[in-house]
Structure 1
Amino acid sequence: MSRKNSDGVKGCMNQMNNRGNTADPSSRGESKNRPSQMDSAGATSQHRSNENGKEAARERRTASVVSSLGTSPKSKEQWPTYPIQNLKTMQDLSREFNPLLAKKEHTILIDMEWIRRGVIVPHQGTHVWDSHHVKLPHLYPLPPSHHKSHAPPSRWEVTRHALHRLTKGSNSIGDVQTAIMSYNSRNKDNWTFEALYYYVQRLPRMENNLHLLIPKMAKLALDLPELIQKPIPLLRQQQNQAITMSQQQISCLLANAFFCTFPHRNDTKPGSEYANYPTINFSSLFANKTDPTKLALKAEKLKAIFHYFNTVTNDEDPAKPEGLVTFERISIPPSQLPAWQYQKVPLTNLHISPEGSIEEEGTGMLQVDFASKYIGGGVLGSKLFQEEILFLMSPELIVARLFTEKLADNECLKITGPQMYNLTSGYSETFYWECPYNDRTKRDNWKRRYRQIVSIDALDFKNPKEQYTKENIKRELNKAFVGFHGDVKTAIATGNWGCGALNGDPKLKALIQLMAAAVSRRDMAYFTFGNKELAKEIQRMHEILTINKVTVDKLYNWLKEFSRHNTREHHLPKDLYGFISEKIGHMAILL
Structure 2
Amino acid sequence: MVLKPALSKCTMSTSAASSLGTKPKPGSTYPIKNLKTMQDFATELNQPLLKKGHTILIDQIPCFQSGVIVSHQGTHVWDSHHVKLPHLYPPPESPNKSHSPPSHWDVTCCALHNLTKGNNSIGDVQTAIMSYNSNNKDRWTFDALFLYGRHLHAKDNNLHLLIPNMAKLALDLPDLITQPIPLLQQQQNLAITMSQQQISCLLANAFFCTFPHRNDTKPSSEYANFPTINFSSLFADEKDPAKLAQKAQKLRAIFHYFNTVTNKSDNQDPAIPDGLVTFERTSIQKPQLPKWKKQKKTLTNLHISSEGSIEHEGTGMLQVEFASNYIGGGVLGSGLVQEEILFFMSPELIVARLFTEKLADNECLKITGPQMYSFTSGYSKTFSWVGPYNDCMKRDNWKRRYRQIVAIDALDFKNPKDQYTKENIKRELNKVFVGYHGDVKTAIATGNWGCGAFNGDPKLKALIQLMAAAVAGRDMAYFTAGNKELAKEIQRMHEILTINKVTVGKLYKLLKKFCGNYTHESGSPIDLYKFIREKIGQKDHLL
TM-score, normalised to structure 1, is: 0.85
In structure 2, distance between residues paired with 1:480 and 1:188:
43
Report the AA paired with residue 194 of structure 1: D
Q: Could you tell me which residue of structure 2 aligns to residue 229 of structure 1?
A: 178
In structure 2, distance between residues paired with 1:255 and 1:204:
19
Q: Could you tell me which residue of structure 1 aligns to residue 58 of structure 2?
A: 110
1:403 equivalenced with 2:355 (yes/no): yes
Deviation larger for 291-300 or 305-314: 291-300
The alignment of Structure 1 onto Structure 2 pairs a total of residues equal to: 522
Residues 1:486 and 1:215: Cα distance change in structure 2 (over 3 Å): same
In structure 2, distance between residues paired with 1:248 and 1:156:
21
Residues 1:236 and 1:141: Cα distance change in structure 2 (over 3 Å): same
Q: Could you tell me which residue of structure 2 aligns to residue 290 of structure 1?
A: 239
1:246 equivalenced with 2:195 (yes/no): yes
1:12 equivalenced with 2:7 (yes/no): yes
Structure 1 residue runs of 5 or longer lacking an equivalent are 1-7, 17-70
In structure 2, distance between residues paired with 1:399 and 1:206:
27
TM-aligned CA deviation for residue 507 of structure 1: 0.5
1:140 equivalenced with 2:89 (yes/no): yes
Decide whether the 8 Å contact of 1:13 with 1:435 is kept in 2.
no
In structure 2, distance between residues paired with 1:461 and 1:186:
37
- Residues 259-278 of structure 1 aligned to structure 2 (within 5 Å): 259-278=208-227
Decide whether the 8 Å contact of 1:565 with 1:571 is kept in 2.
no
Q: Could you tell me which residue of structure 2 aligns to residue 486 of structure 1?
A: 438
- For the aligned residue pairs, the C-alpha RMSD in angstroms reads 2.1
In structure 2, distance between residues paired with 1:123 and 1:221:
18
Deviation larger for 462-471 or 199-208: 199-208
TM-aligned CA deviation for residue 587 of structure 1: 11
Name the larger-Rg structure.
1
Decide whether the 8 Å contact of 2:262 with 2:271 is kept in 1.
no
TM-aligned CA deviation for residue 397 of structure 1: 0.1
- Could you give the per-residue CA deviations for residues 376-435 of structure 1, whole angstroms, max 9, x where no partner exists? 000000010000000000000000000000000000000000000010011000111111
Q: For 1:500, what is the secondary structure of its paired residue?
A: coil
In structure 2, distance between residues paired with 1:98 and 1:313:
29
- Could you give the per-residue CA deviations for residues 94-129 of structure 1, whole angstroms, max 9, x where no partner exists? 112262333440000000111231221100111101
Decide whether the 8 Å contact of 1:288 with 1:294 is kept in 2.
no
In structure 1, distance between residues paired with 2:91 and 2:477:
53
- Could you give the per-residue CA deviations for residues 430-455 of structure 1, whole angstroms, max 9, x where no partner exists? 11111110000000010000000000
In structure 1, distance between residues paired with 2:145 and 2:539:
62
Report the AA paired with residue 212 of structure 1: L
Report the AA paired with residue 273 of structure 2: P
Report the AA paired with residue 474 of structure 2: R
Decide whether the 8 Å contact of 1:170 with 1:211 is kept in 2.
yes
In structure 1, distance between residues paired with 2:203 and 2:532:
48
Q: Could you tell me which residue of structure 1 aligns to residue 109 of structure 2?
A: 160
TM-aligned CA deviation for residue 141 of structure 1: 2.5
Residues 1:182 and 1:146: Cα distance change in structure 2 (over 3 Å): farther
In structure 1, distance between residues paired with 2:96 and 2:195:
37
Q: 2:335 aligns with which of 355, 358, 383?
A: 383
TM-aligned CA deviation for residue 14 of structure 1: 2.1
TM-aligned CA deviation for residue 572 of structure 1: 4.4
Q: Could you tell me which residue of structure 1 aligns to residue 497 of structure 2?
A: 545
In structure 2, distance between residues paired with 1:366 and 1:513:
13
In structure 2, distance between residues paired with 1:386 and 1:201:
28
Q: Could you tell me which residue of structure 2 aligns to residue 280 of structure 1?
A: 229
- Could you give the per-residue CA deviations for residues 542-574 of structure 1, whole angstroms, max 9, x where no partner exists? 001101111100100000000011267666421
In structure 1, distance between residues paired with 2:502 and 2:290:
18
In structure 2, distance between residues paired with 1:338 and 1:568:
32
Q: For 1:453, what is the secondary structure of its paired residue?
A: strand
TM-aligned CA deviation for residue 308 of structure 1: 0.3
In structure 2, distance between residues paired with 1:13 and 1:143:
52
State percent identity of aligned pairs.
77
Decide whether the 8 Å contact of 1:376 with 1:388 is kept in 2.
yes
In structure 2, distance between residues paired with 1:510 and 1:142:
50
- Residues 86-235 of structure 1 aligned to structure 2 (within 5 Å): 86-97=34-45, 99-117=47-65, 118-142=67-91, 144=93, 148-203=97-152, 205=154, 207-235=156-184
TM-aligned CA deviation for residue 268 of structure 1: 1.5
Report the AA paired with residue 328 of structure 1: E
Structure 2 residue runs of 5 or longer lacking an equivalent are 12-22
1:576 equivalenced with 2:524 (yes/no): no
- Could you give the per-residue CA deviations for residues 61-96 of structure 1, whole angstroms, max 9, x where no partner exists? xxxxxxxxxx9x97xxxx400000000000011112
Report the AA paired with residue 431 of structure 1: F
Q: For 1:245, what is the secondary structure of its paired residue?
A: strand
Deviation larger for 555-564 or 317-326: 317-326
Decide whether the 8 Å contact of 2:55 with 2:193 is kept in 1.
yes
Residues 1:123 and 1:429: Cα distance change in structure 2 (over 3 Å): same
In structure 1, distance between residues paired with 2:155 and 2:214:
36
TM-score, normalised to structure 2, is: 0.93
Q: For 1:525, what is the secondary structure of its paired residue?
A: strand
Report the AA paired with residue 422 of structure 2: K
Q: Could you tell me which residue of structure 2 aligns to residue 314 of structure 1?
A: 263
Q: 1:451 aligns with which of 403, 421, 440?
A: 403
